[in-house]
Amino acid sequence: MPELILPARLQGIEQVRSFRAPARLDYQFTAGLATTRFLRAVAEKRLVGQRCPKCQKVYVPPRGACPTDGVPTEEEVELAHSGTVTTFCVVNVQFYGQVMELPYVSALILLDGSDIPIMHLIQEVPYDQVHMGMRVEAVWVPDDELGPTLESIKYFRPNGEPDADWETYKDNV
């Protein structure tokens, strides 16, 4: 690219090379009937999924219908507070808005009694010891801080049980 010819007033001063161009999208998230029931149960320290009457799969958080069979999932199922790590990610990269100390582990956890994993944090264990099949349990916030949000669970931690058999979670990886 040929040299620019600058007017005198622009010579010998620090040039602008970049500018902030943030983008922001403000939404209202409406949970819907099924997820509202799930979140209200979370505020009572309970985990509740819904079972499909055709394929018998238990969805959590429930969306009110089975995506495979297209039928309402009306039967509610109380789920355990323990589950199996199906897959996980060790987060090493700083990003905007991050509140966690690096590195930390974000994992998909298949709660006992359910057929689809939820995403949550794994703590109280060195990040390099987290593995597929690890058995974990929910650590809840104090009762007076419970609310209709998955943040009512602080994180999951190993519960001391031996690793789950591959057959028990192979359909979820």
Residues in the chain: 173
Q: Please select the residue that binds other proteins; options are 24, 99, 143, 162, rule is CB under 8 A.
A: 24
Cβ partners under 8 Å of residue 123, min gap 6: 104, 105, 139, 154, 155, 156, 157
Which among 104, 108, 82, 71 has a CA at the least distance from the CA of 162? 82
Q: Smallest gap, in angstroms, from Cβ of residue 40 to other proteins?
A: 8
Query: Which of these ranges, 13-21, 72-80, 115-123, 159-167, lies near other proteins under the rule CB under 8 A?
Result: 13-21
Rg (CA), the chain: 23
Region 66-105 residues binding other proteins, contact defined as CB under 8 A:
96-97
Stretch that binds other proteins, among 19-27, 46-54, 134-142, 154-162 (CB under 8 A): 19-27
148 binds other proteins (CB under 8 A): yes
Using the rule CB under 8 A, is 21 a contact of other proteins? yes
Confirm or reject binding of residue 3 to other proteins (CB under 8 A).
yes
- Taking the complex as a whole, the smallest distance from the CB of residue 42 to other proteins amounts, in Å, to 11
What is the torsional sign of CA 125, 131, 134, 139?
positive
Nearest to 139, CA basis, from 124, 157, 125: 157
Which spans of this chain sit near other proteins (rule: CB under 8 A)?
1-7, 9-10, 13-33, 35-36, 39-40, 96-97, 148
